[in-house]
Amino acid sequence: MRRTFVLHGIAIILPILCGLALLIDFQGITSRLRDLSLDSYTRIQPFEGNPEIAQQLVFVDVDEASLKAFGQWPWPRHYLAVLLQNIGLQEPQAIGFDILFSEKDRFNTEALEQLGGLEAGTLNDMLPDGDGNFGAMLSLTPSVLALALSQDGSSETAFIPGSISVIGAAQVPVLEAPYLLSPTEALHTAPGAGFVSLSLERDSIVRYAPMVARFEDRLLPSFSAELLRVAQGANGHILKQSGETGEIVNQLRTGRIISKLDQFGRLPLYLGSADRFPVISAQDVLIGENLDRLANAIVIIGSSATGLKDIQSTALDAAIPGPLIHLHILHQILSGAALTSSEITGLIEISIFIFVGICLGLACLRLVVALSALLVAGVSMVAAYASFSIFINQMILTNAVANITILLITGISVIILRALSEEANRRQLRAAFGQYLSPAMVKDIEQSGQKPELGGTTTDISVFFLDIRGFTTLSETLADRPQDLTKIINHILDHCTQIILKHGGTLDKYIGDAIMAFWNAPVAQADHALRAMSAAIEIQNSLDDLNRALKTMMGDNWINQDISVGIGIATGPAVVGNFGSKQRLSYSVLGDTVNLAARLEPVVKQTGIPITVSNRTAEQAGLNDVHLLSAITVRGRREAEKIHGYFLLDTAQTKIQNALSDAACLSDRQTLSKLIKDHADSLSQSDYPIRLLDFYRHICDK
């Protein structure tokens, strides 16, 4: 019961501890598992979104072919002015540069004059003003430039054209940095600018997009948010905190578009295939080809070239250009895929799975190990499917890996601990019963999966008493040789015990030179009477071999006295269980049947029949050569008990024996005396037990 209590406690406490570890995000485990869940969902069913919207999100790629055609990066700014002009003529909704312009054009006239050792102003009329042209074109187009949060200083003035208003008192714990890399001042003509810094996880995989960041005392919009603002011609953004939204998430309103953010001001990304976005090489745009796809589109200009170091990793792609991440952010928002995640949903989710884990653990304690394992696997699969369904249908970022972890840790731990407990029970069982049950019976108890009744129950049993005849004389003879006496008695008891155990008996105790055993407990045996008699018959038949073995073992020390036994067996109801005190218990039997068996064994001395059994034993065993002897009075019983003995008789002797026993049972001394007188001579000349005939004479003399 103590083990059961402990196991139930573990089944309850373990999921609670796992849940608490997840709630406090111990060692960042909750975040890690949620990231794995998001990756799993993404790989199973990548985001598709609205395909028509995807076709309006275009990546103009400064690819390797463009660099080969127009030279290595950075290009002169007047190249970018031409690029921007050609795109602008197609009237896109917005144009974003996922490129930092935090330094002046390296091909500006001042730099070239210094490089060539020319006087200042020499090249003013000969070369175009790259930054000036680019800045002028930015002012004429719906353009958005890139900002970058930095840990290093910048000499440029911060350029933040898009403001963010906050509704709510609490300060959102958003991404922040002490410095901001802004475009050079000549480019502050662009209608929009947003930070392109992404929130990388511990494994450098992009899973969340910061939509709001903090620089000094100001909130900055992301690059994607600014593209949405410029595309709509909106003036700014409004950050409405969860306490004011009536929901469990923060909201960023940009014009008519609302983006649902987590508690850190991030957009959880549900990524899809990058192939859904049109890609146009920058060299085609510069030469005026393939421009029709830019009409009414949101265009992001960036680079897939490895050397420009704007390559990111996602759950779907080990290497993907950064501009495609921003296009995905736009596609997810414009498709209305508001993937939500918050502390409240996490708390609800973990609470549910703590409860499920407790139920699972308790169920595993009641089922067999194989079914428990199947249950754990089945419930885990159901949990995974439910989490995935909620993610797909409700767009809630459930933590399937954490949920399944709770179930697996609970289920597997309970199964293992239960298996260890059962093994401990088996060891205890073997220790408890191995001393008085055969190994085969102990194994049967283990395999049955049912504990024997140890508390005291009433059941039909067959009780067996064996006494070594002449042991008192043997003890007196060997009084000065106790070692020989011990050796002899141990050999006899071991020989008889092995036969008892062989026939499935339970050894109760040794009582000096006697053995007490019983059948049909703790394991049920329908043929317990037959088993008890079979053991008795085998012991009786093996006495010649036993005596020869004793003579060989003792040699010259043998006492020249053969060993014989007397056995009494009774069958009937008795109480079986543990008896004794708190300090010492004994698995034994009590009751009238035990008393009867103990009474039958001494009758052997009177009848000379080595195996004497009760009436029920004889009836249930159903053996031949079991003959009625007489009826004896047993204390506590109103009626006399018919007793039987096992011995061999021929047909004629059997007929006489039946007549003798009937007369003895009826206490008909006259008839019994006449039968003895008529058959004494013939019986004496045969192998009929003479002491049995004396037993009947003694009845007549009473």
Residue 108: what pLDDT? 64
Residue 582: what pLDDT? 62
- Same structural domain for residues 426 and 385? yes
Q: 668 and 656 in contact (C-beta within 8 Å)?
A: no
Give pLDDT tens digits for 618-635: 999 999 999 999 999 887
Could you tell me which residues come within 8 angstroms of residue 653 by beta carbon, excluding any fewer than 6 positions away?
A: 683, 686, 688
* Residue 228 included in any domain: yes
Residue 196: what pLDDT? 93
- Same structural domain for residues 498 and 541? yes
- Same structural domain for residues 79 and 98? yes
- Same structural domain for residues 147 and 273? yes
Q: What b/e sequence results for 136-175 when a residue is b if at least 16 CB atoms lie within 10 Å of its CB, and e otherwise? A: bbbeebbbbbbbbbbeeeeebebbbbbebebeeeeebebb
* pTM of the predicted protein model: 0.64
* Residue 222 burial class via C-beta count within 10 angstroms: exposed 0-12, middle 13-18, buried 19 and up: buried
Q: With pLDDT > 90 as the criterion, what percentage of the chain qualifies? A: 54
- Same structural domain for residues 322 and 367? no
Residue 115: what pLDDT? 60
- Same structural domain for residues 657 and 639? no
Q: 11 and 362 in contact (C-beta within 8 Å)?
A: yes
Which of 275, 299, 334 finishes a domain?
334
Which of 647, 666, 684 finishes a domain?
647
322-334 helix and 223-232 helix, angle to the nearest 10 degrees: 50
Q: How many domains, the chain?
A: 4
Residue 339: what pLDDT? 86
Nearest to 312 by CA among 208, 213, 211: 208
Residue 455: what pLDDT? 56
Q: 474 and 565 in contact (C-beta within 8 Å)?
A: no
* CATH number of residue 486's parent domain: 3.30.70.1230
- The span from the CA of 345 to the CA of 350, in Å, is 9
- Same structural domain for residues 554 and 692? no
- Same structural domain for residues 103 and 213? yes
- Same structural domain for residues 521 and 596? yes
Residue 405 sits in which domain range?
2-26+342-431
Spell out, as residue ranges, where the chain has pLDDT lower than 70: 1, 107-128, 153-155, 200-201, 245-247, 428-455, 581-585
- The span from the CA of 137 to the CA of 143, in Å, is 9
- Same structural domain for residues 424 and 487? no
- Same structural domain for residues 108 and 196? yes
